[in-house]
Amino acid sequence: MNKEQLSFHKSRRKEFSKLIGNDALAIVFGNTHRNKSYDGDYKFKQYKNFYYLTGFTEPNSALVIAPGGIKVTRSGKKNSVKELLYVQQNDERLETWNGKRMGYKNVKKSLGIENADINENLCKILHYNELKNFRKLYLNIAEMLKLTEEMKKIISEFIDSLNRIAPHTEIIDVSYILGTMRSIKTEFEINRIIAASEISIGSYNEILSILQPGMNEFEIQSALEYYYRYHGGDDTAYHPIVASGENACILHYEKNDKRLKENELLLIDSASEYNYYCSDITRTFPINGKFSNEQKQIYEIVLKANKECIKKTKPGVKFSSVAELSNRILAEGLFKAGLIKDKTKIRKYSLHGIGHHIGLDTHDAVPSSLTKNSDTDTLKPGMILTIEPGLYFTDKMKEIPAKYRGMGVRIEDVVLVTKAGPKVLTGGIVKEVKDVERMME
């Protein structure tokens, strides 16, 4: 881990400590493996709040933060510590099978966390007698309850005793407080989201030169995944959606197994992850390189909503009012095209909201609400959100003329809110009709 990353995670622990106060203890668990089938697991992914505070990507770990100090016994001595990371014990046999472990002795040097121990010893502080010394106990409760394997064993007694602890020590989930911190990105985080976006942009541009009728959706998916890795990405930010024709009307379509037809549109909603930070991009392309009149008509309406909403993504603006603007533009567009008579019915065709925060999670786990009176609705510098209007016409929508049916259009960009206005991080992929058609010639 480089100095910049060390100091980012350290600053997050410092800020978090300040927010929870001296009379609090926080235990934030890392993730454990998730079983895929029989004795095989899914690729390991760290819990994001734990990652935010540590940058540590091994399973079966837990971070303890005690701003006022907690007494722990190590090597026979009792010490008061303010931060302590519990990690997997070194184990030659398991490391041969599953990969190297950092080991508690290397934690301070590698992660900058002052104290460390093996995870089994976490049991020693998960006791009523220890915990009653604190007025508040912060846990990632929802995530803790999903832990598997060795961590499940380590915490099982503690979970059984929670009903005894709870009346004496207020138990609070860390998600809100960490989510609030996570809603404003630091420069370090912004740079990672920019990197994830740049990797994705490069990959989309590769796709534009190979896309043609007769290919299969999965060929595009595989090529994107290849290019993400090739350009330096670590993973896909989410399962790629490569949806041609009517498949684009399934919002989280994941089969990606249909042949691309000459006169249809292809909606690609996919992006790379870079060092745990996500991008999230959608573009809609004509498979044969040229939009039909009807496709262009719908595309231009969505593009207008995308561009106008991006312009409005500024400090002080309510995100709910950006959503309202999108619905107004989409409704007006369909009304003028003669496709709807009642503008209030727009949600039947626009299906989803205008966007969401993005960061460590694609749909970032930060407090947000489209309730007008909630402060989480107000945009602030350092927030990063998607703007992703869409219009969808299934084959079943017989009230819509046949030429418009069986298509979905969405255009999604990642936007950083700055004092100087919106900054689009995904602008390197064409979206104007003439530019798309030129790129596909």
The CB-nearest residue to ligand GLY is 269
95 CB neighbour count, 10 Å cutoff: 13
C-alpha 389/C-alpha 270 separation (Å) is 15
- Does 269 bind Mn ion (CB under 5 A)? Our answer is yes
Identify which of residues 117 and 269 has a Cβ nearer to ligand GLY in the complex.
269
Binding mask 200-239 for Mn ion (x = CB under 5 A): ----------------------------------------
- Does 269 bind ligand GLY (CB under 6 A)? Our answer is yes
- Does 204 bind ligand GLY (CB under 6 A)? Our answer is no
Identify which of residues 117 and 217 has a Cβ nearer to Mn ion in the complex.
217
Binding mask 399-418 for ligand GLY (x = CB under 6 A): -------------x------
273 binds, among Mn ion, ligand GLY, none (CB under 5 to 8 A by kind): none
Identify which of residues 314 and 352 has a Cβ nearer to Mn ion in the complex.
352
**Shortest separation between residue 391's beta carbon and Mn ion, angstroms:** 15
Identify which of residues 252 and 419 has a Cβ nearer to ligand GLY in the complex.
252
**Shortest separation between residue 151's beta carbon and ligand GLY, angstroms:** 30
**Shortest separation between residue 357's beta carbon and Mn ion, angstroms:** 10
C-alpha 355/C-alpha 422 separation (Å) is 14
User: Is there a contact between 298 and 391 (Cβ–Cβ < 8 Å)?
Assistant: yes
- DSSP code of residue 399: T
238 binds, among ligand GLY, Mn ion, none (CB under 5 to 8 A by kind): ligand GLY
**Shortest separation between residue 364's beta carbon and ligand GLY, angstroms:** 11
179: tokens are: 């989510």
**Listing from the earlier edge strand, what are the strands of the sheet with 421-424?**
384-387, 413-418, 421-424
- The DSSP string of 151-214 is HHHHHHHHHHHHHHHTTTSEEEETHHHHHHHHTS--HHHHHHHHHHHHHHHHHHHHHHHH--TT
**Shortest separation between residue 426's beta carbon and Mn ion, angstroms:** 10
Identify which of residues 186 and 362 has a Cβ nearer to ligand GLY in the complex.
362
49 binds, among Mn ion, ligand GLY, none (CB under 5 to 8 A by kind): none
Binding mask 322-351 for ligand GLY (x = CB under 6 A): ------------------------------
User: Is there a contact between 425 and 194 (Cβ–Cβ < 8 Å)?
Assistant: yes
236 binds, among ligand GLY, Mn ion, none (CB under 5 to 8 A by kind): none
**Shortest separation between residue 270's beta carbon and ligand GLY, angstroms:** 8
Identify which of residues 84 and 281 has a Cβ nearer to Mn ion in the complex.
281
> Please, what is the Cα angle at 183 between 173 and 64, to 5 degrees?
40
C-alpha 284/C-alpha 248 separation (Å) is 9
- Does 388 bind ligand GLY (CB under 6 A)? Our answer is yes
- Does 273 bind ligand GLY (CB under 6 A)? Our answer is no
Tally of CA atoms within 13 A in the half-sphere of 24 that contains its CB: 19
DSSP-derived pairing of the beta strands 77-87 and 413-418: unpaired
C-alpha 131/C-alpha 395 separation (Å) is 60
292: tokens are: 């039909």
Where helices occur in 274-418 by DSSP H, the ranges are 293-312, 319-336, 347-350
> Please, what is the Cα angle at 370 between 367 and 376, to 5 degrees?
35
Identify which of residues 107 and 281 has a Cβ nearer to ligand GLY in the complex.
281
Identify which of residues 134 and 285 has a Cβ nearer to Mn ion in the complex.
285
C-alpha 429/C-alpha 284 separation (Å) is 11
Question: How far are the Cα atoms of 79, 161, 342, 353 from residue 324, in angstroms, in the given order?
Answer: 56, 48, 16, 9
Interacting residues with ligand GLY between 229 and 268 (CB under 6 A):
238
Number of residues that bind ligand GLY (CB under 6 A): 7
Q: By the criterion CB under 5 A, which residues form the site for Mn ion?
A: 269, 280, 282, 386, 412
Q: By the criterion CB under 6 A, which residues form the site for ligand GLY?
A: 238, 269, 280, 362-363, 388, 412
